[in-house]
């Protein structure tokens, strides 16, 4: 790889540290993204050190390393994430004239088969959210489930919600999503009622809507564990997790309205291509209805 215009050797490890620091402090990357990038770039540095350092990194060498990972069974999505981390680092280095060209720019990851997200059907969703709310924990859990399903929130968005972000009169919530982007989402009637009951336990503006021990914001892991427990208690035997409720919200809304742009805005997707996966789910539903109802869809008996 060609290094900076002066021909000086670049301290690869220092570049990685500086890049990750910018990712955390300026781009406001999530802890999950930072952990993944740190892992991938540390492995890249080790590979480079085992050869000739930064000078060993060429498009052909990177392509070889990716192909080797794919042959060893690394999933196409994981290979794509690895390449994305490499490409971002090298683009950052080019912008700072640490290297002359991005060796990962022209590389393409293996194509991953498109998997449709699993969703609850409407009856399962209703069965899940209708938990008993006779005590403070029950009120919290009921409001949590209703809001996940009503507004399609991400786990981090729900955990970071404070009462100052919730307008129960206008049925709106202000959430902070990926990349620290803020959007306003509607709150359904059932979710609004559940939140009103939860508010009776305390709703100071600076207080988290969903609390765990010591009145602090509920931890993501606690939410995940509660969803598994509540699903079993309610007799829903699919593997229930926060994103399943987000998928279910989007799928049911699209199925009822056909308004893909509205679903995109609700979910906070920057790219409508991400939202379009739900059109495939809707088509699956249409195909099932057609096969069961259309007189020309049924096979003739011999």
Single residue among 49, 80, 95 that ends a domain in this structure: 95
Residue 225 burial (CB < 10 Å; 0-12/13-18/19+)?
A: exposed
Least confident of 65-74, 195-204, 242-251, 286-295: 286-295
Active centre residues (catalytic):
154, 178, 243, 246, 269, 278
The structure tokens 């570049």 sit at 15
Q: Is residue 117 part of a domain?
A: no
Q: Is residue 143 part of a domain?
A: yes
Q: Are residues 87 and 137 in the same domain?
A: no
CATH of the domain at 193: 1.10.443.10
37 φ/ψ angles, rounded to the nearest 5 degrees: -65, -40
Q: Is residue 175 part of a domain?
A: yes
Q: Is residue 210 part of a domain?
A: yes
Q: Is residue 150 part of a domain?
A: yes
Q: Are residues 127 and 65 in the same domain?
A: no
How many domains, the chain? 2
Residue 50 burial (CB < 10 Å; 0-12/13-18/19+)?
A: exposed
pLDDT at position 277: 63
Q: Are residues 76 and 153 in the same domain?
A: no
Range of the domain at 254: 122-291
Q: Are residues 131 and 268 in the same domain?
A: yes
Single residue among 76, 95, 114 that ends a domain in this structure: 95
Q: Is residue 188 part of a domain?
A: yes
User: pLDDT, tens digit, for every residue of 194-219?
Assistant: 999 999 998 899 999 999 988 899 99
Least confident of 66-75, 130-139, 269-278, 288-297: 288-297
């Amino acid at each position: 790889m060609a290094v900076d215009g002066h021909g000086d050797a670049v301290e690869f490890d220092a570049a990685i540290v500086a890049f990750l620091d910018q990712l955390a402090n300026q781009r406001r990357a999530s802890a999950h993204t930072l952990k993944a990038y740190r892992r991938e770039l540390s492995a890249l540095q080790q590979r480079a050190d085992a050869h000739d350092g930064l000078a060993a990194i060429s498009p052909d060498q990177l392509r070889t390393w990716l192909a080797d990972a794919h042959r060893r069974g690394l999933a196409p999505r994981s290979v794509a994430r690895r390449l994305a981390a490499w490409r971002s680092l090298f683009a950052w280095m080019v912008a700072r004239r640490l290297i002359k060209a991005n060796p990962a720019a022209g590389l393409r990851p293996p194509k991953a088969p498109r998997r449709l997200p699993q969703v609850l059907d409407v009856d399962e969703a209703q069965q899940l959210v209708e938990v008993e709310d006779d005590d403070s924990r029950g009120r919290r859990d009921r409001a949590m489930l209703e809001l996940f399903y009503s507004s399609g929130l991400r786990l981090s968005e729900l955990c970071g919600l404070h009462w100052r972000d919730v307008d129960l009169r206008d049925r709106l919530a202000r959430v902070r999503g990926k990349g620290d982007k803020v959007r306003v989402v509607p709150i359904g009637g059932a979710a609004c009622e559940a939140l009103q009951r939860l508010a009776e336990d305390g709703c100071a503006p600076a207080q988290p809507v969903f609390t765990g021990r010591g009145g602090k914001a509920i931890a993501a892991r606690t939410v995940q564990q509660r969803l598994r427990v509540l699903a079993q208690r309610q007799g829903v035997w699919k593997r229930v997790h926060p994103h399943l409720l987000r998928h279910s919200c989007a799928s049911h809304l699209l199925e009822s309205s056909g308004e893909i742009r509205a679903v995109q805005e609700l979910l906070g997707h920057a790219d409508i291509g991400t939202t379009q996966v739900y059109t495939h789910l809707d088509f699956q539903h249409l195909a099932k209805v057609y096969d069961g109802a259309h007189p020309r869809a049924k096979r003739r008996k011999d």
